[in-house]
Every structure is written in C-alpha cells, then in structure tokens.
Amino acid sequence: MVTLEQEDLMGNLLFEGLPRDEFVARWRDEIGEPSDEVCLGTKTFKLPKQGKCVAYLFVGGLVALSTKQGWSAYETTERVEDRQYYAAWAAFCRGVWVDRVPTEEGVYPVRDLEGCRGRDRTLKRVDGKLKDITVNGGFVGSDKVTQWRGDWFSSPYPRLRGAI
C-alpha cells in the first residue's frame, strides 16, 4: 500500500522506467545537469508492483525513484501545487477590465465609472443564482446579480495558499 508520504513524493510523473543511462540523459535534457542538483536525502520503501524502491529527494521538489524496473523522475506534490499557484496568479495578471458582470463565483477587483479603483466585490451562488454578497454592498434585486455599476476585472483573485 502506498502511504501518504509516498504519494507526496510522487506527485507528478515526469518520466518512468528508464535504464540508468537513458534516465541520466533525459534528466540532463529536461531538468539540467544531475551534478548541479543537491540531494536532501533518501527514502527506502516498498511499493506493491515495483517492490523495494529508493527515492532520492532533491532541492526544488524533484524526486528520482530507483526500482528494479528502472529509474523514474517525479515532482513532489508541493512543487506541483506551487507551479499551479503561480500559474493562477500569472493568468490573473493578464486579465483586463470589462464592463459586464462576471458569471463565476469569486472576489473581483472593480473600478467605478470614473475609473477609480473601488472595493473588491464578492460574488457567490445563493439558491442557484449568482449574487453580490459584499459587506455593505447594498440590496440586490431578485433578477440582478449586483447593484454595482462600473468595470469588473475579467477574472477573480486566485485562491491563497492553504485557503479552503
């Protein structure tokens, strides 16, 4: 059985089951010079199909896994989450101001009709309908999403790390 710690080490498969020389060549092509990597430590464990394995954990969240079938490279779950987090913020930074009300839940930056940045507006689904639930946001009619008039940012703020 694979433990939670083992799952964290093997978050995202990069390549697997290669003979040592092919593994080193592919690591060199896709990641960099193996001698430049700093090994934080090793873990030995047993997997159901592969048997005894040795995982080498490197700085930056890379893992080299040695089994009797060959060598594999993984990214840790933490490294994958970091990449997704930064990609979400990069996508947010490429957003633009639009004059239409968003159709998805989230916290959106807004600016008024004069172009002054206003408070953020929080949109959430209530009884199946999208509603502005911003504190002191004013009454929202039953057929409207919000009373706010102005421009909305095209995408909501990405979730913060550790936010549920």
- The per-residue pLDDT for range 54-74, each reduced to its tens digit, is 999 998 889 999 998 899 999
- The per-residue pLDDT for range 150-163, each reduced to its tens digit, is 888 888 999 887 66
Q: pTM to 2 decimals?
A: 0.68
Closest CA to 134 of 158, 102, 108, 104: 108
For residues 92-116, give the mean pLDDT.
88
